Amino acid sequence: MDKNMRILIVDDFSTMRRIVKNLLNDLGYTNTAEADDGKTAWPMLQSGSFDFVVTDWNMPGMTGIELLRNIRGDARIGKTPVLMVTAEAQREQIIEAAQAGVNGYIIKPFTAQTLKEKIDKIFQRMSEAA
């Protein structure tokens, strides 16, 4: 997969954004941008050409699940892969995210290995589907 793909990291905690960004850098993905909630992320997604979104669920303004639904409902960016990284770990929520069209679900706290696995799996599935 393209290590130069543009990734948007959405989380209301600046520490977590930085950690995810560091981990992505370690994996070779250096083309990243950050947003502190769905509301900030939405116009960025509309104007910038992002190839991948890593988002938290519980955020003020617009939550991750709302952002995901907005993305899926948009004709232009509707197919952008979305990886949910969240502390929300109830079965109902995982199912809700799946139904909303999430591509991967990581429960915090997580490891670098898990992040790598999920990203690899998402792109493997996308290349199989293509």
Partner 1 sequence: MERAAANERRERNAQRLRALLAVLEAGDDSSFDAGIDALAREREDALFAHVARLTRQLHQEVVEMRLDERLAHLAGDEIPDARHRLDYVMQVTERAAHHTLDLVDQARGVTAGIERAAQHLAEAQTVLSVAHPEAANVAGLMHCVRDDLAEQTQLLRRTLSELAQAQEYQDISGQIIKRVITLVRNVETALLELLRAAGGGLQTVPPRPIQPLSGALSGPAVPGSTPGASQQDADELLASLGF
127 contacts partner 1 (rule: CB under 8 A): no
Query: Which residue in 8, 9, 23, 100 binds partner 1 (CB under 8 A)?
Result: 23
Interacting residue with partner 1 among 1, 5, 77, 94 (CB under 8 A):
94
Size of the site for partner 1 (CB under 8 A): 32
Q: Which stretch binds partner 1 (CB under 8 A): 1-9, 15-23, 36-44, 47-55?
A: 15-23
Among 31, 40, 70, 114, binds partner 1 (CB under 8 A): 114
**Does residue 119 touch partner 1 according to CB under 8 A?**
no
Q: What angle do CA 59, 26, 82 make, to 5 degrees?
A: 40
C-alpha 126, offset from chain centre: 15
For CA atoms 20, 25, 28, 34, the dihedral sign is positive
> Tokens 């197919």 identify what position?
79
Sign (positive/negative) of CA torsion 89, 94, 96, 100? Answer: positive
Q: Does 16 bind partner 1 (CB under 8 A)?
A: yes
Cα of 59 vs its chain's centroid, Å: 13
